[in-house]
Amino acid sequence: GALGGLWLGLWRRQEAAMAASEEDDDEEEELRRRFMAPPVSGLRELRRRRRELRSRMELLIMETQGEVCRALAALDPGAAFAVDTWERKEGGGGISCVLQDGEVFEKAGVNVSVVFGLLSEEAARQMRSRGKSLKAKDGKLPFCAMGVSSVIHPKNPHVPTMHFNYRYFEIEEADGTKQWWFGGGTDLTPTYLNEEDAVHFHKTLKEACDKHDLKLYPKYKKWCDDYFYIKHRGERRGIGGIFFDDVDSPSKEEVFQFVKSCAKAVVPCYIPIVKRHCHDSFTPEEKLWQQLRRGRYVEFNLVYDRGTKFGLLTPGSRIESILMSLPLTARWEYMHTPPQSSKEAEILEVLRNPKDWVH
């Protein structure tokens, strides 16, 4: 009897192990369907360390990439995303998904990167200039950085350009303590002002922020207006949204949940706007204005954008992925000034004087 009971116990454990293994396989298959490519750290490794925040963040950025790519592809069925996986010899890699020359999108890129190794001296200097006290060991600072980043440039000038980025950073100091922080945001850059679109975009982001703290949206909306400022032009890059960086409180879990809410708001804040306008008629003059506004977009990204600068200063970083944010086409005309009281002048007024869109 005792021996029979032992065999029965072993058999049940084996059955339970087999069932768990099948569940694991089903879960892996489900995750693969949701992603555009296998994760940089490997699915098995992520599942093994699933309780660690680094793993949860990598799964979140992979899922966000998949969600956004599928939503964009559904609006532009004649085009397809090229999926390009790459490795960084210093550690890590990424997945770049780029759609070019579609019917709806001239260029849409959604990138994931997970990189680790030693921080370059220039990158460390850039961080210290933002008030980070980084204590290196023998001049070395091990780091891990991961994020999802996207810029979408539509063909139709009545559909705005949209950008979002959500990222996590971790640095190990000389005494073994780890500094960590999150950053990110979502912002809209229309060629022409449509108040209904602006209100929808900002309200959706405000709802995501309000789930966590009512103070976050006004704080991060202002930060966005201040950050995307083209100083040499005296105007913002677009009509804003939210932006934050170096966020490391109240706790790692609470900030992660906030970032997750923001990432989940990307599709609902933007896709309805694309659907509403992607078949609008437009004139050659309106297309020309779109090209000139894109020139401003390029100016901001190459002169001021912190992410672009950090990427260019990181050894082994992938230049094609960093400069994915640049449009396929843009234009710079000497001394171009739109007529007073024109639709073109209307958007410039808002770019020079940001508005409160939700009250």
Q: What is the three-class DSSP state of 241?
A: strand
Q: What is the three-class DSSP state of 93?
A: strand
Q: From CA 69, how far away is CA 71, in angstroms rounded?
A: 6
Helix (H) or strand (E) holding 94: strand 92-100
Q: From CA 168, how far away is CA 256, in angstroms rounded?
A: 9
Torsion-angle region of residue 350: left (phi > 0), alpha (psi -120 to 50) or beta? alpha
Q: From CA 105, how far away is CA 27, in angstroms rounded?
A: 33
Q: From CA 73, how far away is CA 110, in angstroms rounded?
A: 12
Within 10 angstroms of residue 161's Cβ, the number of other Cβ atoms is: 24
Q: From CA 292, how far away is CA 25, in angstroms rounded?
A: 51
Q: From CA 129, how far away is CA 148, in angstroms rounded?
A: 24
147 forms beta bridges with 113, 167
Handedness of CA 78, 291, 150, 323 (dihedral sign): positive
163 is catalytic: yes
Within 10 angstroms of residue 315's Cβ, the number of other Cβ atoms is: 13
What φ, ψ does residue 110 adopt, rounded to 5°? -135, 110
Q: From CA 358, how far away is CA 206, in angstroms rounded?
A: 8
DSSP letters along 30-88, please? HHHHHSSS--TT-HHHHHHTTTSHHHHHHHHHHHHHHHHHHHHHHH-TT---EEEEEE-
Tell me the C-alpha to C-alpha distance, in Å, between residue 229 and each of 26, 237, 244: 47, 6, 15
Active-site residue identified among 153, 158, 163, 212:
163
Catalytic residues: 163
